[in-house]
Amino acid sequence: MKAFEYASPRTEAEVVQLLSAEPGKTEILAGGTDLVGLMKKMIVTPDRVVNIMDVPTLKSIDELPDGSVSIGATVTLDDILAHPYLDVYPAIKQAIRGISSMQLQAQGTLGGEVCQRPRCWFYRNGDGLLSQGVAEGANEFHAILGNSGPAKFVNSSRIAPALIALDAQLRVLGPDDAEQFVPLAEFFRSPQREGQREHVLAPNQFVSHIVLPPIEGRTCATYEVRHGEGPDYPLAAAAAALRLNGFGIVQDANVVLGQVAPMPWISQEAIAVLRGRKVDVALAEAAGEAAVSRATPLSQNEYKVQLAKVAVKRAILLAAGYETGGF
């Protein structure tokens, strides 16, 4: 690791004050499960690391007066699993159970999970986020959607699809006491040049809380297609949130795919298929088809198209209360 300065602020304002406006100079440390490994490999080389684990206001799960739930950025994944308020959002708990490693659940935080860097092996081996190598080969785990630009990695977050499907917002703090609420759906972006981050925050802004609107009769689910039951990242995943009327007709739907594009992929095509229809196996399958209708697989990842289709289908069926069958 490159030598760096370390600070452990106690308030949100102090965190902002310690962050540099210049990209790459400061990094935010929470659980450390991603950042410390990246620093060891010298892929991330900050001059200062700001540990936000000692800021008390970032550690709690609170119900807000309007029924929303605010989760602090440093709330650990196992604390979310254990929290009774959050039972109404099964998609989130399912995604966290999918992570399955006790250590990652105990040490990893929600903010860190959402902001983690891509697992792309070109990136992790020092070739940069936009390595030319991806197009040439060894791209079996890369993007099948949204991959026409320079970024072909996949966003690795396993909880973000569920959070986006549930219309989560991020509370973002910045200089001069600036507080803003950013829909998670607008947080991620596909970098266009090397050095650009995978999200829209300035280097001196940080995510303090994740705010979930009330569930209000919606149902939701996450479904991951994994290579096995081991600790690897899924090959494809999807989260669905549905509002059904008394006759089981979809009034409103959100379908978000994970592990298939440089950002969590909101599928307007799948949403359009679902609206106004009654959920059954055929409809869920049609939504899956629609979700991958614009897929442009790379040389070695055509298999992911089928997996993504199945992930969408099963997330929808799970959300609608159907048995999904199989693993």
Contacts with other proteins by CB under 8 A lie at 1-14, 17-18, 20, 29, 31-33, 36-41, 47-49, 51, 53, 57, 62, 64-66, 68, 70, 78, 100-104, 106-107, 171, 173, 175, 177, 179, 181, 209, 211, 229-231
Q: Which tokens sit at 321?
A: 């209360």
> Do the beta carbons of residue 77 and residue 105 sit within 8 Å?
yes
Question: 221 in helix, strand or coil?
Answer: strand
Alpha-carbon distances of 11 from 18, 30, 50, 79, 173, rounded to whole Å = 11, 14, 12, 21, 12
One-letter amino acid for residue 177 of the chain = D
CB atoms within 10 A of CB 56: 11
Q: Residue 247: CB partners within 8 Å, gap ≥ 6?
A: 278
Contact (CB, 8 A) for 159 and 95? yes
CB of 45 to other proteins, least distance (A): 11
Cβ proximity to other proteins, 211 vs 316, nearer residue: 211
Smallest gap from Cβ 71 to other proteins, in A, equals 11
What is the distance between the alpha carbons of residues 260 and 232, in angstroms, rounded to a whole number? 15
**CB half-sphere exposure, 49, CA atoms < 13 A:** 17
In the complex, minimum distance from the CB of residue 102 to other proteins, in angstroms, rounded to a whole number: 5
Task: Rounding to the nearest 10 degrees, give the CA dihedral for residues 38, 44, 49, 53.
Answer: -40
**By C-beta, is 176 or 323 nearer to other proteins?**
176
Which C-beta is closer to other proteins: that of 1 or that of 272?
1
Minimum CB distance to other proteins, residue 156 (Å) = 13
Q: Closer to other proteins at the Cβ: 171 or 309? A: 171
Q: How far is the CB of 174 from other proteins (least distance, A)?
A: 11
Q: Closer CB to other proteins, residue 225 or residue 244?
A: 225
Contact 72, 50 (CB under 8 A): no
Please report how close the Cβ of residue 17 comes to other proteins at its closest, in angstroms: 4
Query: Which CB, 208 or 254, lies closer to other proteins?
Result: 208
Q: Give residue for tokens 């989260």.
A: 239
Which one, 180 or 299, has the nearer CB to other proteins?
180
Supply the minimum distance, in Å, between the C-beta of residue 234 and other proteins.
13
* Sequence-ordered list of residues with C-beta below 8 angstroms from that of 218, at least 6 positions apart, any chain: 166, 241, 242, 243, 252
* Nearest approach, Cβ of residue 255 and other proteins (Å): 27
Q: Tokens 């973002």 sit at which residue? A: 172
- The CA distances from residue 124 to 95, 101, 130, 175, in Å, are 23, 21, 12, 31
Q: Which is nearer to other proteins, 17 or 192 (CB)?
A: 17
DSSP string, 184-209: GGGTB---SSTT--SBS--TT-EEEE
State the minimum distance, in angstroms, from the CB of residue 230 to other proteins.
6
Among residues 179 and 186, whose Cβ is nearest to other proteins?
179
